[in-house]
Amino acid sequence: MSPAAWVLFAAALVLAALVGSFTCVVIDRMPYQRDEPDEYGDLWGARTWREVVGGRSRCDACDAPVRSTDNVPVLSYLVLRGRCRDCGDRIPAFHLLVELLVPLLFALAFWRYGWSWALLPVAVLIPPAVALAVIDLRTFIVPTRIIWPTFFVEIAVCAAAAGLLGRWDLLLGCVVGLVTFALPLFVIWFIHPRGMGFGDVRLAVLVGWTCGFYADGSLPASGILVAIALFVAAVLGVVVGIGALGARGRKAQVPFGPSIVLGAYLAIVLAAPILGAFGASATGA
């Protein structure tokens, strides 16, 4: 890369860290604990976006507003050693993890796709996907308030990228990806609704659509790529499940969202070598 390209990349990383910081706000504020489970048995609900973005960040323990100088992504957490400046209570560790994870996932995607239109769909997916995964881990809910807006943005972004690349066939790959990821989960949910939440099916719609963009417009290749993403998600899900059952007993709830997100992300970033093994190519690589 040229020096100018490095400066641009560094600026993009700073932006990704700021977006990661906002992702923390969403993870922190959107879920709220219900007094009793709702009709789906969920103990957590999701606040509206208006409630999420309104007002300043406050300490969970002492309610002191977070100073703007203590709101710098990654650095503030390290300087404060993960504790509130006012009361010394622990700031949840996911703040540091998410503020690092969003730029890291962006950098890996950039390493594969560079400054191309093909970078856009995955770059847009990363922050909401991280938010959904961490919220699912903490609360076992997968808020539709994040999924559907992100899905409609992804439709627009994939359409814009396909148009700018002059490759409308890429959108057919998206449709195949959506069906390949979401249909098996829908069938499992339909047969055994207690085994998996419908939120996981919605999440599969979002990530399947986006993942399908990366198979270079080949419909069989989209199916293969997304089936591999789903397979990886299922394997991860089993591992997480065994861990959760081991740690919390037979009745433990098992979050599937993080596995779905990670499976899809890995398939997108590794689309070129995966599809190369099948004699197919990845979009923009």
* Residues of the shown chain interacting with Zn ion in the complex, contacts defined by CB under 5 A: 59, 61-62, 84, 86-87, 89
Q: How far is the CB of 19 from Zn ion (least distance, A)?
A: 25
Q: How far is the CB of 151 from Zn ion (least distance, A)?
A: 36
Helix (H, G, I), strand (E, B) or coil at 204: helix
**Closer of 67 and 248 to Zn ion (Cβ):** 67
Helix (H) or strand (E) holding 66: none
Compute the distance between CA of residue 38 and CA of residue 36 in angstroms, rounded to an integer.
7
**Closer of 85 and 138 to Zn ion (Cβ):** 85
Q: How far is the CB of 92 from Zn ion (least distance, A)?
A: 12
The residue to which tokens 């609704």 are assigned: 193
Q: How far is the CB of 62 from Zn ion (least distance, A)?
A: 3
Q: How far is the CB of 29 from Zn ion (least distance, A)?
A: 16
Compute the distance between CA of residue 83 and CA of residue 217 in angstroms, rounded to an integer.
49
8 Å CB contact between 282 and 275: yes
**Closer of 61 and 108 to Zn ion (Cβ):** 61
Q: How far is the CB of 64 from Zn ion (least distance, A)?
A: 5
**Closer of 48 and 68 to Zn ion (Cβ):** 68
Angle between helices 257-269 and 119-139 (to 10 degrees): 160
Residues forming beta bridges with residue 46, ordered by sequence position: 31
**Closer of 43 and 59 to Zn ion (Cβ):** 59
Residues forming beta bridges with residue 86, ordered by sequence position: none
**Closer of 1 and 87 to Zn ion (Cβ):** 87
User: 268 vs 12, 194, 204, 230, 282, CA distance in Å?
Assistant: 20, 30, 14, 12, 9
Q: How far is the CB of 233 from Zn ion (least distance, A)?
A: 37
Burial class of residue 14 in the structure, from the number of CB atoms within 10 Å of its CB (0-12 exposed, 13-18 middle, 19+ buried): exposed
8 Å CB contact between 59 and 44: no
Compute the distance between CA of residue 18 and CA of residue 67 in angstroms, rounded to an integer.
16
**Closer of 38 and 89 to Zn ion (Cβ):** 89
Compute the distance between CA of residue 218 and CA of residue 51 in angstroms, rounded to an integer.
42
